[in-house]
């Protein structure tokens, strides 16, 4: 009796052990088939006065992660999926710095991040991420971002110091191709905000002379404008080949464009930055007045990205893809390449991988390559010229990125 009972007990124990081993093997197989997701970050304004820009960056990041994960995730890590961690930077440098501190402490598994929209926010955020050795990508322009000797910051856009020097010859080339004539005279209509005056300063202190351009109208005003008549009259009288159109307040842009239309001034107008091309501009200025207005921007939806732009419209009801969406979309693909190269979600390894990337021609940024120099600048980064056409700001230059040919007044 005892022998039989012992035999039964031994067989029962054996079956239990084997079953347990089977469960362990099944668990091991499941883990191998479904590796842990890799956390990647986006720190940008999600609240306050800049919230819309951060939300658009989030849209670009989400579209990219959808594509990356559907295409197999990080293959060198067993197909690990990317998981987006969004941190609200708020609407001030103090809030941005506090958000960065929260990000690095609350998300220790974060392998790499992007952000933080305004250069002032990025400068504050990267003081924190640098100490945490967290690699950061940014579309922010300030030269200071990559002039501090930091090892963990990577700038995908052309820096502010280079943008005016890049923009001017680009615009002149565009003018010559579109009209058959290279501009010789220019007007400047600018408000006295820091960003506008910075662009004008670079032109006056050498760039206009460098490109043999004569300044025939130089008008600076304090926003908001009450009457644009005298400013536009100057342009009408001097007949420049180009107008550098640099108001930062939409109501001032509207007033100037209305007065130019009233006075039948048809001079090509070039702005800088995305303020003139945001969707909400159409709530203030009619498409007819905007038609033909151009702007030099860091990035924009371009040729080869038509399907992506359609998806953004369908999913988020966004009428077009601004630099904030396409740049953040591109950042996610840089992260993917770096993680593939690193083979692990380790911050230092990812930073080393980004510094060693050489992915060839950039598909999501204007000009250059997916390659960074020792300071963290993307090599060969240039600008995009967009133009309002039929109620939509579209890429018209560089030619290889253009989705439409530029319109040129008088041609």
Mean pLDDT split into 10-residue runs, the chain, 411 residues: 48 48 45 77 95 96 98 97 98 96 97 94 97 97 92 93 84 88 95 81 91 96 94 97 91 94 94 88 94 94 94 96 96 98 97 96 92 96 94 92 86 59
Whether residue 397 sits in one domain with residue 268 = yes
In a domain, 23, yes or no: no
Q: Which long-range contacts (CB under 8 A, 24 or more apart) does 399-408 make?
A: 399/177, 400/303, 401/302, 401/303, 401/304, 401/366, 402/302, 402/303, 403/301, 403/302, 403/303, 403/306, 405/178, 406/174, 406/177, 406/178, 406/294, 407/178, 407/291, 407/292, 408/175, 408/178, 408/179, 408/268
Q: What does the pLDDT read at residue 161?
A: 76
Q: Is residue 72 part of a domain?
A: yes
358/244 same-domain check? no
With 0-12 / 13-18 / 19 or more C-beta atoms within 10 angstroms meaning exposed / middle / buried, residue 222 is exposed
Clarify whether residues 212 and 269 are in a common domain: yes
Residue 32 lies in a domain: no
pTM: 0.85
User: 239 with 218, same domain?
Assistant: yes
pLDDT of residue 293: 95
Whether 265 and 397 map to the same domain: the answer is yes
Query: Pairing mode, if any, of strands 242-246 and 269-272?
Result: parallel
Q: Is the domain of 171 the same as that of 89?
A: no
Contact predicate 39/108, CB 8 Å: no
292 shares a domain with 185? yes
Within a domain: 21: no
Give yes or no: residues 214 and 363 share one domain: no
| Cα angle 15-16-17, degrees, rounded to a multiple of 5 | 90
Q: What is the CATH number of the domain that holds 116?
A: 3.40.50.2300
Residues contacting 225, CB < 8 A, separation 6+: 231, 247, 251, 252, 255, 256
Domain match, 375 and 389 both: no
The residue range of the domain holding 332 is 38-158+304-380
**Domain match, 267 and 325 both:** no
Tell me the two tokens of residue 55.
Answer: 């939300």
> In terms of residues, how long is the chain?
411
**Is there a domain that residue 3 lies in?**
no
- Give residue 3's pLDDT: 47
- Residues linked to residue 138 through DSSP beta bridges, in sequence order: 155
Question: What does the pLDDT read at residue 34?
Answer: 66
Q: Is residue 124 part of a domain?
A: yes
Distance CA 286, CA 31 (A): 57
Q: Smallest Cα–Cα separation from 399: which of 270, 332, 304? A: 304
Whether residue 27 lies inside any domain: the answer is: no
The residue whose two tokens read 């953040």 is 328
| 262 within some domain | yes
The total number of structural domains in the chain stands at: 2
What whole-number distance in Å separates Cα of residue 296 and Cα of residue 271?
6
Q: Does residue 127 have a cis bond before it (omega within 30 degrees)? A: no
- The pLDDT, as a whole number, for residue 411 is 59
Q: Using an 8 Å Cβ cutoff, are 115 and 138 in contact?
A: yes
**Does 251 share its domain with 393?**
yes
Same structural domain for residues 200 and 108? no
Cβ proximity of 406 and 174 under 8 Å? yes
């Amino acid at each position: 009796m005892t022998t039989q009972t012992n035999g039964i007990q031994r067989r029962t124990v054996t079956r239990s052990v084997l079953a347990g081993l089977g469960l362990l093997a099944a668990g091991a197989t499941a883990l191998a088939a479904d590796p842990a997701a890799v956390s990647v970050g986006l720190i940008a304004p999600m609240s306050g006065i800049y919230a819309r820009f951060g939300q658009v960056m989030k849209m670009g990041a989400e579209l990219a992660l959808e594509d990356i994960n559907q295409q197999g995730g990080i293959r060198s890590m067993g197909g690990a999926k990317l998981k987006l961690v969004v941190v609200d930077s708020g609407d001030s440098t103090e809030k941005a710095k506090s958000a960065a501190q929260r990000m690095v402490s609350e998300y220790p598994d974060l392998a790499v991040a992007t952000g933080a929209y305004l250069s002032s926010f990025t400068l504050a955020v990267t003081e924190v991420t640098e100490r945490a050795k967290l690699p950061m990508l940014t579309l922010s322009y300030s030269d200071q971002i990559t002039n501090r000797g930091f090892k963990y910051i990577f700038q995908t856009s052309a820096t502010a110091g280079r943008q005016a020097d890049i923009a001017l010859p680009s615009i002149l080339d565009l003018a010559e191709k579109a009209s058959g004539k290279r501009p010789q005279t220019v007007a400047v209509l600018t408000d006295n905000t820091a960003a506008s005056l910075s662009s004008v300063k670079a032109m006056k202190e050498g760039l206009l002379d460098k490109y043999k351009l004569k300044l025939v109208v130089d008008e600076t005003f304090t926003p908001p404008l009450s009457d644009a008549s005298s400013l536009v009259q100057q342009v009408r009288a001097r007949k420049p080949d180009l107008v550098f159109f640099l108001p930062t307040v939409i109501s001032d842009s509207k007033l100037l464009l209305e007065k130019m239309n009233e006075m039948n001034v048809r001079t090509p107008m070039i702005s800088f930055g995305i303020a003139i091309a945001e969707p909400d501009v159409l709530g203030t200025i009619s498409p007819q007045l905007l038609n033909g207005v151009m702007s030099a921007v860091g990035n924009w939806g371009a040729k080869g990205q038509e399907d992506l732009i359609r998806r953004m419209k369908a999913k988020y009801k966004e009428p077009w893809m601004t630099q904030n969406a396409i740049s953040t979309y591109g950042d996610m693909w840089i992260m993917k390449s770096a993680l593939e190269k690193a083979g692990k979600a380790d911050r230092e390894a990812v930073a080393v991988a980004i510094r060693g990337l050489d992915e060839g021609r950039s598909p999501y940024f204007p000009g250059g390559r997916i390659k960074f120099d020792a300071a963290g600048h993307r090599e060969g980064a240039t600008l995009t010229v967009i133009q309002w056409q039929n109620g939509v700001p579209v890429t018209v230059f560089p030619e290889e990125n253009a989705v439409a040919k530029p319109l040129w007044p008088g041609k």
